[in-house]
Structures are given as structure tokens and as C-alpha cells.
């Protein structure tokens, strides 16, 4: 890092990658060459997962087989549910981090870093993370866990395990689009964590556990939960402008706004906003979407900041009846397929990631023995 660094590794190129192309000039995101918005509109979550890991879109037969394989791996290992019940009450995101880490104990060869072994492992982890998140949440609420249903798609099953009921095809498809939008986004903080851990030739569980720990906080994936808390506090569109102006006057951040890369708006937001409106209309709860629009207008006028993907996912998930505590675990359960693609890529052409700092501390001090110090 040069002494002129803006900090936060801003604009620093850390590695080459063939996974995700963020172009802030054209305001587009491509996954292995395909527009992310097209993938969200036309692909299933499973199809995007396949594209990320196998570097090309699957044939119909490959997709059917892959979808079934993921569905077959949704069960939490025997015995783990009892352990989940014994953990003192914590957030679902902390639970998810703990139990993904614990999955290593159920793997007979967790340190095998071959591509085949890594693919088997990321398939299991991606398949089971929604079950862990939904189960941990329901147990924390003293509700019965809902068994995964292998006949449902990844997205339908996830909603079914959270809500304990079926939802309309249009709602589950809207939810699936949000999962695709969340699935991969270049070298964001959590993906960087996963790559750093992998670069030491550590195991996949450690890399994904670290990524979950990085994602959970408010400046990254935790922003969707914080955004919903803001909407709940605002309560009504008519309160939004005053509330936000006060917040900004106190120099506080509006969660779900701003982005390190996109200074002219997050290209994923347009579709997420549309999804939020559709879900709001179908569920008769457009109020939350309308509050968002007011907040967007005020933050734009006051700070010239735009909403990122996390902002409109909050009202969308709220209207689906998803508890706030699950928003970031949902993000993690989707982003795991992007983390996994980066872990595979890192293993396939690895070099230890070991950056430098510019030293700004004291130098050449004379050591004073303890008995002579005041």
C-alpha cells in the first residue's frame, strides 16, 4: 500500500479473477460474462450456482441433476439439532457462523483441497445453510423446526422452512430473484475474507465461517436488517423526510445507502426495488416500499447517496413475513455460492495473500527495564 492510500484498500487491485465483472462506468455487474440482472430475471438460483462453480451455464439435464443433488444435501447432520437447541440464545447470524464452522467435524476429510473434494463440500454447505438458518431461528423462538422438502426448489424450500407454509409461485419467484442478486459481487469484504483464509491453504469451513463473520455487520450484509429497523421506526411515508433529515443532521449513517464502488447508484437496486414493489402490492403492504421511496428521495437530495441492494430487500422480506433476524442469514445463504466460486478459484491458482502496511508508529526507542519505569 502506498503512503497515499485512502485506506480500506480502496481502488487496490488484489488479484485477477474470472468470476464477476463490476463496471462502474457502464453500471453493470456480469457473472462469468452474463448480466446479473438477466440472470436474476431468467435463471433459477441453482442455475446461477452452477454457472459460478462450473464456469458455464448448465444444459437442461445438468441443471436437473445439480438441482436434485443440492436438494438431497439439505439435511442438518444428525445430532446437530440437539446442539443448536443447547446453544444460549443468540442472533441467527451468529448461530449460522457457529454451525457452519461445526460442519467441519462431520466431514471425514475437511482438509482435502482438491477441486472435486471442494465441489462436494461447497455443495453440502450451500444446500444446508438455509436449513441451519431457518432451524436456528425457529428454535430460538421455541417453534418446531420445519424439515426441508426435497421436492421444492432451493428458494421455495428456504421460504417454506422459514415461514412453515407455502407461498404463491410469484412470491417465491420474487424471493429467488433476490437470492440471485445477492449471489456474487466481486471482491467485497466477506469474499476477500474467504480468499485470504483460502490462500493459507486452510479449509473451506474456515473460509466460509470467516466470510459469515465479515458479512454480519452493519457496513456490509447487516445493513438489510438495520434498514428494516429504520423503516419500522419511521412507520409511515409522511414521517420519512423529517426522520431522515434529523438522522443526517446527527451525522448518522442511513443503512442501505452508499457503496464503495458505485458512486452513481448500485445497478442491482433497480430490480430489487421492482421486486419490493411487486411483493408489497401482492401482500397488500405497499406502505414499507413507499417509506423507502421517501427515504431515497431525501437521502439523494441531502447527501447525493443512492440505495444499495440491501435497502429494498428489507421491505421485500418484511412483506414476505420473514423475521428481521433472518435477513442477513438469507444474504449469507445466497452469497455462499459466490464465496465458494472464489474459494475454488483461489485454490486453483493460489499464492498467499500477504499485503503490507505503511508504518506510522515510533521507531528506535531505547528499552527501559520494568523496574525503572514509572
Q: How many CA atoms lie within 13 A of 249 on its CB side?
A: 6
- Cα distances (angstroms) measured from residue 92 to each of 135, 209, 325: 9, 14, 6
Question: Quick one: 258 or 267, whose CB is closer to ligand ACO?
Answer: 258
Please identify, using beta-carbon distances, which residue of 132 and 309 lies nearer to ligand ACO: 309
β-sheet bridge partners, residue 29? 22
Minimal distance, residue 226 CB to ligand ACO, in Å: 7
Phi, psi (degrees; rounded to nearest 5) at 31: -110, 115
Under the rule (CB under 6 A), what is the footprint of ligand ACO?
8, 218-221, 223, 253-260, 303, 305, 308-310
How big is the CA angle at 36 (ends 272 and 10), to the nearest 5 degrees? 90
Compute the least distance from the CB of residue 308 to ligand ACO, in Å.
Answer: 4
Least spacing, CB of residue 317 vs ligand ACO, in Å = 14
CA-nearest of 321, 285, 278 to 163 is: 321
Cβ closest to ligand ACO, residue 256 vs residue 329:
256
Residues 6 or more apart whose CB falls under 8 angstroms from that of 330 comprise 133, 158, 178, 179, 182, 317, 322
C-alpha neighbours within 13 Å on the C-beta side of residue 66: 22
Least Å distance, CB 7 to ligand ACO, is 8
What 271-275 contacts at long range (C-beta under 8 Å, 24+ apart), as own/partner pairs, is 271/37, 271/40, 271/41, 271/177, 271/181, 272/178, 272/181, 272/309, 272/311, 272/312, 272/313, 272/316, 273/307, 273/312, 275/174, 275/177, 275/178, 275/312, 275/316
Which residue's Cβ has the minimum distance to ligand ACO?
258
What positions carry a catalytic annotation? 259, 310
Q: How far apart are CA 144 and CA 36, in angstroms?
A: 36
CB of 175 to ligand ACO, least distance (A): 17
- Shortest distance, position 311 Cβ to ligand ACO, whole Å: 7
Amino acid at each position: 500500500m502506498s503512503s497515499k492510500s485512502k485506506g480500506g484498500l480502496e481502488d487496490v487491485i488484489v488479484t485477477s479473477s474470472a468470476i464477476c465483472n463490476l463496471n462502474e462506468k457502464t453500471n453493470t455487474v456480469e457473472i462469468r460474462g452474463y448480466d446479473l440482472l438477466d440472470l436474476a430475471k431468467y435463471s433459477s438460483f441453482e442455475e446461477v450456482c452452477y454457472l459460478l462453480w462450473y464456469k458455464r451455464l448448465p444444459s437442461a439435464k445438468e441443471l436437473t441433476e445439480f438441482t436434485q443433488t443440492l436438494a438431497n444435501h439439505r439435511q442438518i447432520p444428525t445430532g446437530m439439532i440437539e446442539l443448536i437447541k443447547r446453544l444460549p440464545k443468540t442472533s441467527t447470524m451468529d448461530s449460522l457462523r457457529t454451525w457452519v464452522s461445526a460442519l467441519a467435524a462431520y466431514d471425514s476429510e475437511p482438509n482435502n483441497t482438491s477441486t472435486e473434494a471442494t465441489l462436494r463440500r461447497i455443495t453440502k454447505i450451500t444446500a444446508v445453510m438455509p436449513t441451519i438458518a431457518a432451524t436456528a431461528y425457529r428454535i430460538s423462538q421455541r417453534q418446531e423446526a420445519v424439515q426441508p422438502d426435497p421436492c421444492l426448489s432451493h428458494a421455495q424450500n428456504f421460504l417454506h422452512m422459514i415461514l412453515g407454509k407455502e407461498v404463491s409461485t410469484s412470491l417465491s419467484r420474487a424471493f429467488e430473484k433476490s437470492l440471485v442478486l445477492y449471489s456474487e459481487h466481486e471482491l467485497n469484504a466477506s469474499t476477500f475474507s474467504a480468499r485470504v483464509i483460502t490462500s493459507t491453504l486452510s479449509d473451506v469451513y474456515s473460509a466460509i465461517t470467516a466470510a459469515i463473520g465479515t458479512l454480519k455487520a452493519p457496513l456490509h450484509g447487516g445493513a438489510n436488517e438495520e434498514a428494516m429497523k429504520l423503516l419500522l421506526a419511521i412507520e409511515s411515508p409522511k414521517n420519512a423526510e423529517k426522520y431522515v433529515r434529523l438522522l443526517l443532521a446527527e451525522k448518522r449513517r442511513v443503512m442501505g445507502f452508499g457503496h464503495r464502488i458505485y458512486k452513481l447508484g448500485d445497478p442491482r437496486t433497480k430490480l430489487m426495488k421492482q421486486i419490493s414493489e411487486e411483493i408489497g402490492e401482492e401482500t397488500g403492504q405497499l406502505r414499507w416500499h413507499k417509506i423507502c421511496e421517501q427515504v431515497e428521495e431525501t437521502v439523494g437530495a441531502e447527501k447525493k447517496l443512492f440505495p444499495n441492494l440491501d435497502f429494498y430487500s428489507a421491505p421485500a422480506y418484511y412483506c414476505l413475513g420473514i423475521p428481521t433476524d433472518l435477513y442477513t442469514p438469507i444474504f449469507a445463504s445466497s452469497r455462499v455460492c459466490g464465496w465458494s466460486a472464489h474459494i475454488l478459484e483461489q485454490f486453483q491458482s493460489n499464492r498467499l495473500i500477504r499485503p503490507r502496511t505503511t508504518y506510522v508508529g515510533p521507531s528506535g526507542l531505547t528499552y527501559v527495564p520494568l523496574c525503572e519505569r514509572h
